[in-house]
Amino acid sequence: MNIVLINPPNCGRSIPEEEFGITSLKMIFRGEPLALEVLAGNLVGHEVRIVDLKAEPDGFAKLLAEGTCPDIVGFTAVTCEANTVIKLAGEIKKRFVGKSPVVVVGGHHASCDPVYFNRDGFDYVVVGLGKLTFRLLVDALTEGREPSAIPGVVRVRPGDVFTPSVRKYDFADLVDHLPPRYDLVEAHRDKYVMSGVGGKVGFVATAFGCTHCCSFCSIPSMTGGRYLSHSVEAIIRDMRLLGDIPLIRFVDANTFGDPAIAKVLAERILELGIEKKIVADVRADTVVADPALMRLWHEAGLAAVVIGFEEIDDSRLRLMNKRSSLQKNIAALQILAEIGIRVIGDFIISPDYGHEDFERLSRFIDSSSIALPIPSILTPIPGTALYRRLHKELVITDLDYYTFSNAVLPTNLATQEFYTLYSDLMKQLHHHIQKS
Ligand code: B12
Ligand code: SF4
Q: 77: domain CATH number?
A: 3.40.50.2300
Query: Are both 32 and 86 inside the same structural domain?
Result: yes
In the reported structure, the alpha carbon of residue 8 is separated from the centroid of ligand 2 by a whole-number distance in angstroms of 25
Residue 233: what are its φ and ψ, rounded to 5°?
-65, -35
**Residue of the CA atom closest to atom 6 of ligand 2:** 217
356 CB-near residues (< 8 Å, 6+ apart) = none
Mean pLDDT (the chain, rounded):
95
What is the count of structural domains for the chain? 2
Are 128 and 153 in contact by the 8 Å Cβ rule? The answer is: no
Query: Are both 345 and 205 inside the same structural domain?
Result: yes
Query: Are both 141 and 216 inside the same structural domain?
Result: no
- Among 112, 213, 219, 348, the mutation site with the greatest number of ligand 2 atoms within 8 A of its Cβ is 219
pLDDT digits (tens, 9 = 90+) for 393-410: 999 999 999 999 999 999
In the reported structure, the alpha carbon of residue 324 is separated from the centroid of ligand 1 by a whole-number distance in angstroms of 24
Q: For residue 269, tell me if it sits in a domain.
A: yes
Domain carrying residue 268 = 193-435
With 0.95 as the threshold, say if the pTM is over it. Answer: yes
Task: Please state the rounded mean pLDDT for residues 419-433.
Answer: 84
Residue that terminates a domain, selected from 155, 183, 211: 155
Q: For residue 370, tell me if it sits in a domain.
A: yes
Query: Are both 206 and 91 inside the same structural domain?
Result: no
Q: 363: domain CATH number?
A: 3.20.20.70
Q: For residue 172, tell me if it sits in a domain.
A: no
CA 128 to chain centre: 13
Query: Are both 350 and 396 inside the same structural domain?
Result: yes
Query: Are both 323 and 264 inside the same structural domain?
Result: yes
Task: Please state the rounded mean pLDDT for residues 55-69.
Answer: 95
DSSP-based three-state secondary structure for 32: coil
Paired sense of beta strands 372-377 and 342-349, if any = parallel
In the reported structure, the alpha carbon of residue 214 is separated from the centroid of ligand 2 by a whole-number distance in angstroms of 6
Query: Are both 283 and 198 inside the same structural domain?
Result: yes
Ligand 1 cavity residues, CB under 6 Å: 7, 10-12, 29-31, 33-35, 38-39, 54, 74-76, 78-81, 104-109, 111-112, 126, 129-131, 134, 203, 205, 217-219, 222, 251-253, 376, 381, 403-404
Q: For residue 165, tell me if it sits in a domain.
A: no
Query: Are both 148 and 219 inside the same structural domain?
Result: no
From the CA of 34, give the closest atom in ligand 1. Answer: 25
Spatial distance between the Cα atoms of 108 and 125, rounded to a whole number of angstroms: 11
Q: For residue 164, tell me if it sits in a domain.
A: no
From the CA of 321, give the closest atom in ligand 2. Answer: 4
Query: Are both 28 and 140 inside the same structural domain?
Result: yes
Query: Are both 406 and 259 inside the same structural domain?
Result: yes
pLDDT digits (tens, 9 = 90+) for 276-300: 999 999 999 999 999 999 999 999 9
Residue that terminates a domain, selected from 107, 128, 155: 155
Q: For residue 234, tell me if it sits in a domain.
A: yes
pLDDT digits (tens, 9 = 90+) for 133-183: 999 999 999 999 999 899 999 999 999 988 888 899 999 999 999 999 999
Query: Are both 408 and 279 inside the same structural domain?
Result: yes
pLDDT digits (tens, 9 = 90+) for 181-226: 999 999 999 999 987 666 899 999 999 999 999 999 999 999 999 9
Are 179 and 234 in contact by the 8 Å Cβ rule? The answer is: yes
Query: Are both 67 and 146 inside the same structural domain?
Result: yes
Are 419 and 360 in contact by the 8 Å Cβ rule? The answer is: no
Reported as type and span, the H/E element at residue 263 is helix 259-272
Q: For residue 161, tell me if it sits in a domain.
A: no
Q: How would residue 29 be classed by pLDDT, with cut points 50, 70 and 90?
A: low
Q: For residue 186, tell me if it sits in a domain.
A: no
Sign of dihedral through CA atoms 179, 181, 186, 192? negative
- Torsion angle in degrees (nearest 10) through CA of 40, 44, 47, 50: 10
Residue 405: what are its φ and ψ, rounded to 5°?
-130, 20
Residue that terminates a domain, selected from 102, 134, 155: 155
Residue 363's pLDDT is 96
